[in-house]
Amino acid sequence: MPDILLIVDHDKELAQALAVYLQRQQFEVLLADSKIEALEIIQSRSPAIVLVDPHFPETDPLAFLQQMKERIPHSQFIIYGPLDALEKIMGPFNTSALAYIRKPVNSIELDFGLKKAGEWAALETEHDKITQKIKELQNAQILLQQLFDEVPCYITVQDHHFRVTATNRLFKRDFGNEIGGYCYQIYKHRDTPCTNCPVADTFKDGRRHQTEEVVTSKSGVQYHVLTWTAPIRNEAGEITQVMEMATNITQIRQLQDHLTSLGLMLGSMSHGIKGMLTALDGGIYLLETGISRQDPKRTERALDQVRLMVKRIRKMVLDILYFTKSRELEYRQTDIHELIESISGTITPSAAAHNIDFIVTLPPTPARMEIDPDWLRASLINFLENAVDSCVSDSDRKTHHIRFDTRMTGDDRVCFNISDNGLGMDRETREKMFSLFFSSKGSKGTGLGLFIANHVVGQHGGAIHVESEPGKGTRFEICIPRTRTSPKVEMPELTRP
């Protein structure tokens, strides 16, 4: 299709002669011999080239040129006219015109100008195409970024050193905005790469790999995730990065745990109870022989063993009851002093038996709080019993102490502080200590105590803050609203002992 060329000149005969010349060069030529006609044509036809002598009677040539240029900014202008008139236009109009030609029109100058106009038009057409492609690529990039960000799973892109180079919005929300950090530090809190790393496997063989992991968010919440990896290749087909996608399956695992935990618990507890019953039989045997031989020391030792085994069996049975049944909290107005004294009376004999200083500080003034006293008492006792066990297991210190302080806060909460100078915990233990069946006591623990205590505090709408380091002891701060409130986190229902 030939280019449209508009000749604008008040000299009709010259314009028609130029039109014949240009039509031989395969242009579609339009003629305008007035300002109004020229403006109407450019409005309807948008010519690619405008050959114009702007010197119309009673017309400002520069203003006329600028008016046409504003309406068809992408058209190429070739201006011709007397030399003195061109010199007045060339300064202000400058590069807005592609060429300036003197009258009478020289065919060589005109052909050169038309050639430049064609080349420039082709460049602008190519520029428009490239600009359009860039816009399409930008829109595609925006769409891909939206998909990347809105996918309901955690996505990271990692390099050969396991450094994170890109993350999506969900990952940023739960694990932070760090770029360039090691993946195993960001959501595993490790100092070394993970064993059986799927990202490393994908870099090695270029295939997709799947694993199930437990990761820890920036707020300390643990998630079960199902991860998939996929290679990212360059133009040469080399793997430069690996994308890791992790789906949060925590709720699924919690449901599965809830369905299977009873069986797991019975299997775990049966061995513990069997060992306790064996020890209880041994204690009864010592008691019988001590009585028959009239040996007071043997009898007393037997009674201590029987009491210990009965205490352990009782605690285990109560933990099972807490876990297996369900009920609502039974709130009652409770005197805080009486609650603390009741708890202290339970812990004091055990602490004294192991030469542990048990220091209790009551609030300066009596106060009451709306709680389920049975549940909260059992939970606080659990924290204190763990403090006792931590001190007993610590052989590096000669003296140990446990502090049990209570304070009122300005936001109407009661905070129970329990601190000891026992073994302490590393970060991994701190992060897992409230998990079901997790115990740092080996065969002496059931993995239910702190799990239940944490859920009791949560059902009261409270929160637990833990500070601990190996060899430096542990401090728990358990803060509970003084009046009934909704739980801050979703907790499974528990049962009264």
Predicted TM-score (pTM) of the model is 0.42
Does residue 316 share a domain with residue 341? no
pLDDT in tens, 94-107: 777 888 999 899 98
Structural domain that includes position 298? 254-324
pLDDT category, 494, cuts 50, 70, 90? very low
Last residue of a domain, one of 202, 217, 248: 248
CA 452 to chain centroid, in Å, comes to 28
User: 416 forms bridges with which residues in the sheet?
Assistant: 406, 478
Specify the pLDDT at position 318: 65
493 domain residue, yes or no: no
**pLDDT average, residue stretch 192-198:** 89
Give the Cα separation of 447 and 491 in Å (integer): 17
Does residue 143 form part of some domain?
Answer: no
* pLDDT tens column, 357-403: 999 998 888 889 999 888 888 889 888 988 998 999 888 888 999 99
In this structure, the answer to whether residues 261 and 341 fall within a common structural domain is no
**Cβ pair 379, 456 in contact under 8 A:** yes
In a domain, 457, yes or no: yes
Which tokens sit at 366? 């009596």
496 within some domain: no
| 138 occurs within a structural domain | no
Please state the domain count of the chain. Answer: 4
Top pLDDT among 443 and 154 is at 154
Residue 465's identity, in one-letter code, is H
Do 292 and 243 belong together in one domain? no
pLDDT category, 444, cuts 50, 70, 90? low
Strands across the sheet containing 413-420: 356-361, 400-408, 413-420, 473-481, 463-469
Helices 83-93 & 61-71, crossing angle to 10 degrees?
A: 50
Are residue 13 and residue 119 in the same domain, yes or no?
A: yes
Residue 495 lies in a domain: no
* pLDDT for position 319: 62
Q: Which residue has tokens 């019988």?
A: 288
Query: In the structure encoding, which two tokens stand for residue 59, read together?
Result: 């017309």
Looking at the structure, do residues 164 and 200 belong to the same domain, yes or no? yes
- Residue 160 banded pLDDT, cuts 50, 70, 90: very high
pLDDT tens-place string over residues 66-80: 899 999 988 889 999
Instruction: Give the tokens for residue 283.
Output: 């204690």
On whether both 234 and 272 belong to a single domain, the answer is no
pLDDT band at 491 (very low <50, low <70, confident <90, very high): very low
Does residue 486 belong to any structural domain of this protein? no
Is the same domain home to 157 and 238?
yes
Residue 92 sits in a domain whose CATH number is 3.40.50.2300
- Residue 8 included in any domain: yes
Among the candidates 191, 218, 248, a domain finishes at 248
Task: Judge whether 170 and 154 are in contact, CB under 8 Å.
Answer: yes
Task: Read off the CATH number of the domain in which 200 is found.
Answer: 3.30.450.20
The tokens for 475 are 């401090």
Name the token pair of 450. Answer: 């702190």
Asked if 179 and 299 sit in the same domain, the reply is no
Contact of 68 with 78, CB cutoff 8 Å: no
pLDDT of amino acid 493: 38
One domain, residues 243 and 258: no
Statement to judge: residues 368 and 308 lie in one domain: no
Determine the Cα–Cα distance for residues 239 and 242; give it in Å rounded to an integer: 8
pLDDT class for 334, splitting at 50, 70, 90?
A: very high
Q: Are residues 365 and 458 in the same domain?
A: yes
- Quote the strand ranges of 337-427, DSSP E: 356-361, 368-371, 400-408, 413-420
Residue 97 has what pLDDT? 85
Out of 272, 297, 324, a domain closes at: 324
**438 dihedral zone (left: phi>0; alpha: psi -120 to 50; beta):** beta
Looking at the fold, whether 461 and 361 belong to one and the same domain comes out as yes
Q: What is the pLDDT of residue 93?
A: 81
SS3 158: strand
Q: How much is the pLDDT for 221?
A: 87
